Structure 1
């Protein structure tokens, strides 16, 4: 929708914009669904930035409950189906934007499609979970499969509903976007909230009762009773249409585009959002990084170009932020696993500091981990885990990373200071200095 709105804004009546979407809603925050389920946010209307009616008033021909089922690139035609009327439709185009997003991963195990097993991606998913939770008795049990962003956020949401919650994940620690030593802090905080965290444990199947509804989850660590199961195993690019039409896909399964979000070799075809791969500026590799921040920027870039202007999407550094319970989590750039895969030699700096001056009543702990390249001293990545006031510090690291700064250069950055906000040496500066010291030759020469 950001692409459609931008193109229409630039070209006005000179451009007819038709939007097809099989869903019932537009321009909403999928990232807010766990907070709506948990009762922290009223919804779903609170999560909608712009309604279908608002888009139509701005001149967009928006067709909801209309699913694209085939692309004829040679003829410049999209074949679609009206899901409510059951009729087939045909749309010609001069320019086509492929923005089909991503779909939750559902592992191929027995019982995975049983009633009471939910993925969480669209507003209808959130409503389905809320409706299901409303019918559960006191003392009900929930199992969350996967301990990534959605998994840990949904685990907390289920706790807020009074459920006894178990999280199951194949990885050694929650949040595999962090290194395991930082993920271990998330693990401990989840357990403090009463969540049973089972790591290193794979999903084998889902058991159902006579009514076909979920009753238990079978794992490598045993069988867990369950009245509701939430899948938080991540997403994959929704590129079935693209593959069938012959659009180029990368190793991660997403559509490949150039800097303008145009699909190479296919004049008039563009792609953006969670269905595409992005270029990582640090590792110099193509990845699937499905985040709303990137999707909105890519949409605006594509819309600008569709509208006759010029814009580019310069890539990503994998910055992300989340929270679980009272713990804030931020990361940017490469983890140790990523750095090894990319072939970097690196050092690791670790520090523990406080969110404010240590003598302030609100002071809480935070941990920072920094990776820097041996030889150049260039920042490669950073992770922050701590309590209130911690995580947004990751944006300083992200800015330094974007501009290819060294950790030594970072030690001189002019960051703000006042006792209610940071120590006189902010945790960012301390971590950069500690890492820069590790890069010095023995004896400091």
Structure 2
């Protein structure tokens, strides 16, 4: 099938490359000429394990290409995916749909024959209705169907998630779209992947409801972690004990400094605003947002406590800046709250992240180091914010020798307290006495 992907951001590029790997003919469109030139020359604008190889293989096979002009690509497409950004709108927290609606306006003028318009971007309930209205207003003669097909990709594991998903959700109002969407995802039938067909509005809500529930689960275990510290219990054992209950499950029960990234912060906020406007507030999610925001800021107090409450003039080494490992994404990363809070308490911060290049543009007065050991050199305390694999097996004796005082604050619980203390470290973690 012929697929046109509008947008070469995280979702658009991963989805386009994976559809091409399924055997479809895919053209990815973006207005950013420099990004398209980079993609054409073999460069990848985001860090996602395996994506560079997947793109290169499908470009070489002639199934994947890139362009700044949408006209020819839309005209021959069986399906046109809208995969542009929907950031939180400044001031009110609603999703900014200006890029989605601009894409719909452009697509409308280029349609030639029956085409399925698929919203891949995360959008509030009712967005598909508005896309349909925009296209009908501009092209009353156009033959098309608007479909919701939300993405459920985890950064760092996106290719695996696309090719072996838990489910595929398709929301439609026009049955002519069903065979097109079925054919697009036909390769997944070999894995017996459930394809859930729903109404369009239901599909749009599924995406927000799923992300909000996961954010709620993370926030819940973080609250339990605080209780564990107060009572002398171990949050990791609590998480294991409740996670073995199949009704609960063990995923997203890792206590830490709070969630961040491109999805959970903006999607929970957008759901809160949508629910409020609908007169049906989601108070659990409202509280989740408030707790998470406060938690990220409060982590600086945990670091200060490890140095007897005084960070003035002290050097803090930070390991990990991106919101999670195996990505270069800094959107709403806990580090963006924690580091300024440490600086406000008088600390000097030196930091290292394997893929944190973007952090250099988002954090000020930070001494960025070349590796974890440089970040530890001369530090009064070392703080692990992001659990990159390379931080899990540090030469702790070397780290100790490089630091002014061997104090480690592990905000991801990647080390065992007894191991660190036996090596002479003062050690603090999350939810462990």
Normalised TM-score (structure 2): 0.28
Q: Determine which structure has the larger strand proportion and give its number.
A: 1
Structure number with higher helix proportion: 2
